[in-house]
Amino acid sequence: GINAEYMGHLLSVYFFSTIDMSIPNVQTQVRLMKRPVTAPVPGEHLVVYKNVPVPSAQSLAGTQVLVHNLYLSLDPAMRGWMSDRKSYIAPVAIGDIMRGGTVAEVVASKSSAFKPGQIVTGMTGWQEYAVVEEKEISPCRVPPSLSPSAALGVLGMTGLTAYFGLLEVGQAKRGDTVVVSAAAGATGSVAAQIAKNVLGCRVVGIAGGREKCSWLKNDLGLDEVIDYKATKNFGADLKKACPKGIDVYFDNVGGDQLNNVLRFINIHSRIVICGAISSYNEKEPPPGPSNYITLLSQRSRMEGFIIFDYKEKFGEALTKLTQWALEGKLKWKEDIVDGIENAPNALLRLFSGQNIGKLLVKIGEPIVSSSSHNASKL
């Protein structure tokens, strides 16, 4: 017994010294320094700070964990978190690190639940290193055959949003006609594929530009795709694509697209309000959908949802999403920008529709080597 214990002690001493050598002294962070009224301006609202001291492994207290962020998710919801208005989550405080979901590696830990080298997910923010409480992170559940970045997309909040929006709120079922706006976006593309490949719905995607529309039609196999940037008459194209009317509309856009969909909804149809990216950077709210009265004549409902309301079902949903991904029923694209200092500019791509699929920032490569990773488990 002594030998094994002594070996373990030697390994942990060796391990901690090697880890500390590979943790840099300084890092880059992005903070929210002013609330934007329209589109956030990099350098004014979101400000990059370089050469910020990195907390040392020795400074950890209680059950704290020091993580090194590998990927940061960029999401339309971040625009809302910058505004000081009534919402489902408090806004980011002025001067604070910008909030964001990440995939990270544990580099030092006072928690018995997490070991150095372990890959985790959490809201550890727009920075390279963070000290977190153990309850703020979770083990990454992505199968080894997939990139851990999938934990921010199809096997993370994005996939869960599509899953609960389509299945719980939208109550989509085989044979329904399902229309998805921003269908080439991270959430829209997962919702469209669940509808098509898992449920067996007729799926019509709305997207902007030839590249996105071609991906949706040729790679993802949607039944019809409408290019809202190229169409001369969106309403006519929508009607033609949905000869039997619309049963479920998964809306990420709002505005004119929503108003047109309302013209063609069936009795007892479900309109799922996931987002309204067309208006996030507007000073004044756009006019409401004038065709809303069809909700009355068609006895239909339009309902918003927040994913955190379903957290007790996250486990089963992730199990299903993982299974569908491994079966090839869900495909996804990642749009990856390098370097945390480029995150403020990259975020703007969401609002101009430049990204295809999941927009991510790659913050760094793992620094805990696999040999020490194994040693930490002895």
CB contact at 8 A, 307 and 164:
yes
Dihedral sign, Cα of residue 329, residue 346, residue 79, residue 252: negative
Any idea what the Cα angle at residue 64 is, between residues 58 and 70, rounded to 5°? Answer: 90
Q: Residue length, the chain?
A: 378
* Banded model confidence at residue 13, pLDDT cuts 50, 70, 90: low
What does the mean pLDDT of the chain come to? 93
Annotate 276-335 with three-state secondary structure: CHHHCCCCCCCCCCHHHHHHHHCCCEEEECCHHHHHHHHHHHHHHHHHHHHCCCCCCCEE
Give whole-number Cα distances, 262 to 48, 239, 242, 299, in Å: 43, 11, 12, 12
What does the alpha-carbon distance between residue 137 and residue 128 come to, in Å, rounded to a whole number?
15
The phi and psi torsions of 250 (rounded to 5 degrees) equal -95, 105
Convert the pLDDT of each residue in 253-304 to its tens digit.
999 999 999 999 999 999 999 999 888 888 888 888 999 999 999 999 999 9
Pick from 274, 255, 79: nearest CA to 169: 274
Q: Taking 60 as the threshold, does the pLDDT of residue 12 lie above it?
A: no
Convert the pLDDT of each residue in 190-209 to its tens digit.
999 999 999 999 999 999 99
Q: Taking 70 as the threshold, does the pLDDT of residue 7 lie above it?
A: no
Convert the pLDDT of each residue in 46-91 to its tens digit.
999 999 999 999 999 999 999 999 999 999 999 999 999 989 899 9
CB contact at 8 A, 294 and 327:
no
CB contact at 8 A, 156 and 184:
no
pTM: 0.89
Residue 327, both tokens: 């079966």
Strand-pair partners of 49: 29
* Banded model confidence at residue 14, pLDDT cuts 50, 70, 90: low
CB contact at 8 A, 148 and 139:
no
Q: Report the amino acid identity of residue 158.
A: T
Q: Report the amino acid identity of residue 59.
A: S
Q: Report the amino acid identity of residue 322.
A: T
Among 10-24, 25-39, 247-261, 356-370, whose mean pLDDT is lowest?
Answer: 10-24
